Amino acid sequence: TPGDEFGPIPSPTRPDRLYFTSSRPGNLGGPRDPAGRPDEQYGRHFTDIYYASITQGVWKDVQSMHYFLNSPRHEVILGFAQHGRSMYYFQGDALDRGQVLIDSFRQGGQVLSTNPFLGPIDQSAGIAPPFFQQGKVVIFASKQPGGYGGFDLYRTERIQGRWTAPQNLGPEINTAYDENYPFLARDGRTLYFSSNDKKKSIGGFD
């Protein structure tokens, strides 16, 4: 659309379905200013979560997630866990200010079973969207003290129901500049990310 579409994530249970985030006309809440107030003249739509289906090689049937999940605030899909039974997503008044939630896709009456993510990630500290691997490993960017400078990439793992303390991925990856937007391949060993390190980047984030 003329708006923003980003963060596509394939469904772990349906090979014909793709989830993504979009800021487009029709999103709940309508156009809003940066403070979240309705602004029909100059405002932009906050983000909602959508999904699309593919049939015979053609993507179609784009639909917004249910209104129990999407709201007038920002919602951004982050990943899935438990073989697709739970979905991690961000919700906040700004894309760098909010919290990570878990949607179990279970509805009872008018109540959605949504709970906060209890791992060691403080989304309000300006952390970029984290990468979730099946609810067992999270890789995220943070400016927390003790790093190499700017945003560094960290890793936390869920062991026996608890998340470990975040571990910096070290100087082979992190620099005095910003490392951001991590993505771990299915082999669990190949990490993709962006950096504005002047020794590696042609300019800005590469």
**38-51-140 Cα angle (round to 5):** 80
pLDDT of 130 reads: 83
Q: Which of 48, 69, 41, 35 is nearest to 3 (CA)?
A: 48
Q: Which of 141, 137, 19 is nearest to 87 (CA)?
A: 19
Task: Name residue 103's beta-bridge partners.
Answer: 87, 114
Start-to-end CA distance of the chain, whole Å, equals 25
Confidence of residue 123 (pLDDT cuts 50, 70, 90): low
**151-153-156 Cα angle (round to 5):** 135
Confidence of residue 163 (pLDDT cuts 50, 70, 90): very high
- Classify each residue of 68-96 as buried b or exposed e, where b means 16 or more C-beta atoms within 10 Å of its C-beta: ebbebbbbbbbbbbeeeebbbbbbbeebe
Confidence of residue 94 (pLDDT cuts 50, 70, 90): confident
Residues 153, 173 contacting (CB under 8 angstroms): yes
The amino acid occupying position 194 is S
DSSP state letter for 171 = T
Residues 78, 99 contacting (CB under 8 angstroms): no
Confidence of residue 111 (pLDDT cuts 50, 70, 90): low
Distance CA 144, CA 134 (A): 25
The SS3 assignment for 116 reads: strand
**Mean pLDDT of the region 122-142:** 75
Task: Please indicate whether residue 186 or residue 170 has the higher confidence score (pLDDT).
Answer: 170
